[in-house]
C-alpha cells in the first residue's frame, strides 16, 4: 500500500527531526550559491546558529523575482559539471526561470513521483500514458522517470494529436494517464466525435490531473465520463515539478512530502503564518536538493492544510485543492473572484460543454465580466435562442457564487479555441 512505508508513515516527531537534519545540510549547500551567500551576509544570518525548524523563519522569503534576477544560475550552488539537467517554468506568468538538478536531485524526484503514483494505486502491471508536454515543462519527464522507477510500461505520448492518443490508449491498453485537466476535457469531445465509448472501449482506471487549477465539479465530470478515478497532482518547477503533493486513494487532499519539503502557510498580506484549516499562500523549502536548494519560496498558490490526519495512515500532512494563484484573482467591482469559482458553477450544469472563457472588459468606466461557454453537442439544437432559460439560470447561479452579475454567452459546440497545455481561461481586456 505504501511505496516507502517507513518514510510515509513516520511518526511526526521523527519526521520533524529528519526535516531539521536535512534543513541544516540544505543551508550549507545554499550558502555556496552566489544568491544565498549574499543574502545571508546582507541579513547577518549565521547558518550554524539555526538550531530548530522555527529558526527557518529568520531567513527571508525567496520570490519569483529573485529567480528572475539571478537567471540563469545565481542560485546554483555547484558547478555545471556536477549538474545533469535543467527545467524551466512554462512561463505562464512572465519571463522564464530555470532549475538545475544533479543526479541526486533527479533520483530523489523520480522516487517522489513513484511514491505518488503508487499511493494512488498504480503498480508495475499498469500501462502509463503521459499525455502532457515533454521538454522544459517538468510534467513530462517528471512523471516519465517516476513511472519507469515504479516499473510500469511508460508511453511518452506527450500532449496533442488527440486521435493518436486515443489510438494508443486502445492498442496499448493504457490503464493510467497523466493529463492536464483542460486537455482531459478536450479529449472528451474527440472521443465523442470518434464514437468511442471510453467506459467500454478503453481500459483506463485512473488519471492524474494537475498543473492548473480545476474544481471538484470538473473532477466528477471527468470521472463519470471516463469511468475512472481522478487524483489531484500538485507541483511547481521551483520545487522540482510534479511530486510535491499528491492524493492517495482517499481522494481527500494531497499529501505533501515532508521529507523533501518544509511547508509553511502564510497570510499573503501580513506574511504571518495561518493556522491549519485556514486558507493562505503555500511557502516551500526544499530539503532534499543539492544543486539548487530554494528556501522559503512564496508560490502565490492558495490552499489550506487539513487539520486531521488521513485515514490512509500516512503522516505527511495534506493540502487542499489549490484555489488558484494570487495573480489569477480578478477584482470586479471590489469583489475578489477566482476562475475556479466560475468553473465550479459551469461544470455542474449538464447542458454545458467543458470549454469556457472569461472575458473582462471596461465599458464607460464600468468593469464587465462576460462568461462564454459552449453548449454540449447533445443539447445543441442549432438555435441558441431556445436556450434562453438556461442562460438566465446560469446568470443567477453565477451571481450566487461570485456576488456580481456577469453576462453569459452560450456558444455552439467547438467554437472556443482548445488547449493542449495549460489553458488560458481569462482574457482581461480592461488595460488595453
Ligand atoms: P508556470 O508557473 O509557468 O505555469 P509551472 O509548470 O511550474 O510553471 O507551474 C506550477 C504552477 O501550476 C503551480 O504554482 C500552480 O499554480 C499550478 N498548479 C500545479 N498543479 C496544480 C494543481 N493540481 N491544482 C492547481 N494548480 C496547480
Ligand atoms: Zn492519505
The predicted-structure confidence for 7-37, as pLDDT tens digits, reads as follows 999 999 999 999 999 999 999 999 999 999 9
Q: Residue 130 and residue 144: Cα distance in Å, rounded?
A: 7
Model pLDDT for residues 154-182, shown as the tens digit of each residue:
999 999 999 999 999 999 999 999 999 99
Which of ligand 1's atoms lies nearest the C-alpha of 241? 7
Greatest C-alpha distance within the chain? 72
Which of ligand 1's atoms lies nearest the C-alpha of 301? 16
pLDDT at 137 over 90: yes
Q: What is the CATH number of domain 329-428?
A: 3.30.300.30
Q: Residue 108 and residue 35: Cα distance in Å, rounded?
A: 24
Return the DSSP state at 401: H
Which of ligand 1's atoms lies nearest the C-alpha of 209? 23
pTM: 0.96
Ligand in closest contact with the CA of 308: 2
H or E element, residue 116: helix 103-119
Ligand in closest contact with the CA of 298: 1
Q: Residue 411: name the closest of 368, 380, 389, 432 by CA.
A: 380
Q: Which residues, 6+ apart, have CB-to-CB distance to 423 below 8 Å?
A: 180, 181, 182, 212
Q: Decide: 108 in ligand 1 pocket, CB within 6 A.
A: no
Instruction: CATH 3.40.50.12780 in the chain: give the residue spans.
Output: 1-326
Using pLDDT thresholds of 50, 70 and 90, give the confidence band for residue 432: low
**Per the structure block, which three cell numbers stand in for 360?**
473582462
- Testing ligand 1's pocket by substitution, the residue of 63, 86, 92 carrying the most ligand atoms inside 8 A of its CB is 92
Residue of the CA atom closest to atom 24 of ligand 1: 213
pLDDT at 428 over 70: yes
The confidence score (pLDDT) of residue 90 equals: 65
The confidence score (pLDDT) of residue 431 equals: 76
The confidence score (pLDDT) of residue 224 equals: 97
The confidence score (pLDDT) of residue 420 equals: 86
Ligand in closest contact with the CA of 250: 2
Q: Decide: 286 in ligand 1 pocket, CB within 6 A.
A: no
pLDDT at 132 over 80: yes
Q: How far is the CA of 254 from the centre of ligand 2 (A)?
A: 8
Q: Residue 331 and residue 323: Cα distance in Å, rounded?
A: 15
Q: Decide: 233 in ligand 1 pocket, CB within 6 A.
A: yes
pLDDT averaged over every residue in the chain: 96
Which of ligand 1's atoms lies nearest the C-alpha of 93? 3
R_g of the chain, CA atoms, integer Å: 22
Q: How far is the CA of 185 from the centre of ligand 2 (A)?
A: 27
Q: How far is the CA of 164 from the centre of ligand 2 (A)?
A: 34
Q: Decide: 211 in ligand 1 pocket, CB within 6 A.
A: yes
- Testing ligand 1's pocket by substitution, the residue of 90, 236, 239, 251 carrying the most ligand atoms inside 8 A of its CB is 236
Model pLDDT for residues 71-98, shown as the tens digit of each residue:
999 999 999 999 999 999 866 667 889 9
Q: How far is the CA of 336 from the centre of ligand 1 (A)?
A: 20
The confidence score (pLDDT) of residue 294 equals: 98
pLDDT at 276 over 90: yes
Q: Residue 195 and residue 191: Cα distance in Å, rounded?
A: 6
Looking at 3.30.565.10, 3.40.50.12780, 3.40.50.300, 3.40.50.1820, the CATH number of the domain 1-326 comes to 3.40.50.12780
Average pLDDT, stretch 135-146?
97
CB 78 within 8 A of CB 32: yes
Instruction: CATH 3.30.300.30 in the chain: give the residue spans.
Output: 329-428
Q: How far is the CA of 245 from the centre of ligand 2 (A)?
A: 11
Place of cell 517538468: 138
Average pLDDT, stretch 210-234?
97
Q: Decide: 343 in ligand 1 pocket, CB within 6 A.
A: no
β-partners of residue 318 are 255
Amino acid at each position: 500500500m505504501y511505496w516507502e512505508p517507513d518514510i510515509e508513515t513516520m511518526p511526526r516527531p521523527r519526521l520533524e527531526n529528519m526535516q531539521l537534519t536535512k534543513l541544516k545540510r540544505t543551508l550549507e549547500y545554499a550558502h555556496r550559491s552566489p544568491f544565498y551567500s549574499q543574502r545571508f551576509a546582507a541579513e547577518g544570518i549565521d547558518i550554524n546558529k539555526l538550531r530548530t525548524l522555527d529558526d527557518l523563519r529568520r531567513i527571508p522569503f525567496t520570490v519569483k523575482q529573485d529567480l528572475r534576477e539571478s537567471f540563469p544560475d545565481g542560485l546554483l550552488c555547484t558547478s555545471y559539471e556536477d549538474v545533469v539537467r535543467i527545467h524551466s517554468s512554462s512561463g505562464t506568468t512572465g519571463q522564464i526561470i530555470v532549475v538545475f538538478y544533479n543526479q541526486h536531485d533527479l533520483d530523489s524526484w523520480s522516487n517522489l513521483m513513484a511514491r505518488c503514483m503508487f499511493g494512488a494505486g498504480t503498480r508495475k502491471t499498469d500501462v502509463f500514458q503521459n499525455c502532457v508536454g515533454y521538454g522544459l515543462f517538468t510534467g513530462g519527464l517528471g512523471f516519465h522517470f517516476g513511472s519507469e522507477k515504479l516499473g510500469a510500461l511508460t508511453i511518452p505520448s506527450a500532449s496533442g494529436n488527440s486521435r493518436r492518443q486515443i489510438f494508443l490508449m486502445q492498442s496499448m491498453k493504457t490503464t493510467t494517464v497523466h493529463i492536464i485537466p483542460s486537455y482531459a476535457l478536450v479529449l472528451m469531445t474527440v472521443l465523442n466525435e470518434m464514437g468511442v465509448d471510453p467506459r467500454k472501449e478503453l481500459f483506463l482506471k485512473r488519471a492524474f490531473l494537475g498543473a492548473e487549477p480545476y474544481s471538484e465539479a470538473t473532477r466528477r465530470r471527468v470521472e463519470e465520463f471516463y469511468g475512472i478515478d481522478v487524483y489531484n497532482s500538485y507541483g511547481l518547477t521551483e520545487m522540482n515539478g510534479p511530486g510535491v503533493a499528491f492524493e492517495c486513494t482517499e481522494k481527500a487532499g494531497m499529501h505533501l512530502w515532508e521529507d523533501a519539503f518544509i511547508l509553511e502557510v502564510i497570510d499573503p498580506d501580513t506574511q504571518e503564518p495561518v493556522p491549519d484549516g485556514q486558507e493562505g499562500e503555500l511557502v516551500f523549502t526544499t530539503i532534499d536538493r543539492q544543486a539548487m536548494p530554494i528556501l522559503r519560496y512564496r508560490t502565490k498558490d492558495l490552499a489550506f492544510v487539513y487539520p486531521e490526519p488521513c485515514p490512509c495512515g500516512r503522516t505527511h500532512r495534506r493540502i487542499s485543492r489549490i484555489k488558484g494563484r494570487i495573480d489569477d484573482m480578478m477584482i470586479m467591482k471590489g469583489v475578489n473572484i477566482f476562475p475556479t469559482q466560475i468553473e465550479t458553477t459551469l461544470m455542474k450544469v449538464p447542458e454545458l460543454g467543458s470549454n469556457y472563457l472569461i472575458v473582462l472588459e471596461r465599458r464607460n468606466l464600468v468593469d464587465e465580466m462576460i462568461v462564454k461557454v459552449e453548449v454540449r453537442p447533445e443539447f445543441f439544437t442549432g438555435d441558441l435562442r431556445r436556450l434562453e432559460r438556461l442562460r438566465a439560470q446560469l446568470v443567477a447561479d453565477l451571481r450566487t457564487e461570485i456576488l456580481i452579475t456577469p453576462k453569459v454567452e452560450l456558444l455552439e459546440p467547438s467554437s472556443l479555441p482548445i488547449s493542449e497545455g495549460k489553458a488560458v481561461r481569462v482574457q482581461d481586456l480592461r488595460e488595453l
